[in-house]
Amino acid sequence: MTPMNNEEYLLKLQFSDELKELEAAKKASGLNFEQLAEKIGVNKVWLASTLKGQQWVPEEYCIKIAKALGISVEKTMFLNNHPYKGNTDPILYRLHEVLDTYGPAIKDIIHEQGGNAIMSAIDFGLDVDVIEDAEGNHRVIIKFDGKLLPYAKKGKYPW
């Protein structure tokens, strides 16, 4: 993922046409964010961020937003999709952070245990679970299962 600034990112949103329709409906309503948020029963900053495509919106609030803007619910239901946020989604950012922090150690252990090899991203499986630990905390478990691919002994190597 190539980092970009927020303005560039927001222009590339998956639902840019739908967001433009919501912006037009808000403008046509004559309401500012504070007035509209009060009508819906939400925080004005959250609402402004929502109308920029940066928040996940429960179905009940998609309905309230549609009613407040005087548009059909079908025009707001796309907000019920989990968006990529800002120029780096928080979950994706954390995955990058994990690999930045632990990647060199993972690489060393793969070489130590598997020799001169890499992990395949083609012959590869991935699983994600959210579990509850003994203290009642929710934990994310991510399992990578990639075939170990030894480098071929071809080319101008010492072997």
Known catalytic residues? 94, 97, 120
Terminal-residue alpha carbon distance, the chain: 37
For the record, the structure tokens of 143 come out as 């399992």
Distance of CA 86 to the CA centre of its chain: 9
For the record, the structure tokens of 2 come out as 């190539």
Residue whose pair of structure tokens reads 């964010």 in the numeric block: 33
For the record, the structure tokens of 149 come out as 């691919």
Q: How many CB atoms lie within 10 A of CB 126?
A: 10
Residues across the chain: 159
